[in-house]
């Protein structure tokens, strides 16, 4: 198995370290040449969604990434990655994310909450979004303070928190299970 990690900004290296801990090969995508390598899945990390969208367009990545996801490539978006997959950005997943829903940097927090099919998960929220609208075929996976913070739609997984910033590999393992 080989996973592409969008490396335009954000915690992409932490995702790569998590995959390495799980014994999974990965590579970083910074441009179209990187993207054209064989891959079994894609991780879109957190970062600043507006900047990531601009860089994706500038590097010619927007359409190929969108087409691959719509064509069935498994994808896992965390924080800004969740925002990028919503109906306002790449328009791959039938969700609408509310940016910075938990406030600014000072509103960042850590909690542990249950995630369907995964168990208790440590969750790090940093200027986090949440899902304010979900389509009928979107499966809710986790809520915190009555807000939807993780969901799945077919081959797409999103979470508002940063599992890559903890030592717990369960959310990444869940994504890899979606590919297998």
Q: Which two tokens stand for residue 34?
A: 């990187």
> With contact defined as beta carbons under 8 Å apart, do 122 and 112 qualify?
yes
59 catalytically annotated: no
Residue 136: is it exposed, middle or buried by C-beta count within 10 angstroms (0-12/13-18/19+)?
A: exposed
79 catalytically annotated: yes
| Identified catalytic residue from 79, 89, 92, 172 | 79
Positive or negative, the CA dihedral 155, 156, 159, 163 is positive
| Identified catalytic residue from 15, 92, 159, 162 | 162
159 catalytically annotated: no
| Identified catalytic residue from 14, 15, 89, 164 | 164
Which residues are part of the catalytic machinery?
A: 79, 162, 164
């Amino acid at each position: 198995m080989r996973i592409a990690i969008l490396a335009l900004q954000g915690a992409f290296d932490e995702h790569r370290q998590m995959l390495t801990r799980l014994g999974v090969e990965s590579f970083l995508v910074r441009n179209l040449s990187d993207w054209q390598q064989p891959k079994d899945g894609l991780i879109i990390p957190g970062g600043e969604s507006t900047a990531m969208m601009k860089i994706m367009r500038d590097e010619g990545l927007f359409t190929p990434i969108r087409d691959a996801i719509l064509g069935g490539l498994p994808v896992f978006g965390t924080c800004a990655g969740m925002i990028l997959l919503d109906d306002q950005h790449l328009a791959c997943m039938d969700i609408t994310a509310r940016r910075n829903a938990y406030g600014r940097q000072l509103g960042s927090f850590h909690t542990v909450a249950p995630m369907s099919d995964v168990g208790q998960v440590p969750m790090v929220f940093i200027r986090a979004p949440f899902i304010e609208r979900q389509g009928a075929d979107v499966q809710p996976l986790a809520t915190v303070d009555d807000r939807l913070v993780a969901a799945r739609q077919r081959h797409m997984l999103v979470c508002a928190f940063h599992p890559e910033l903890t030592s717990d590999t369960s959310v990444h393992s869940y994504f890899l299970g979606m590919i297998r």
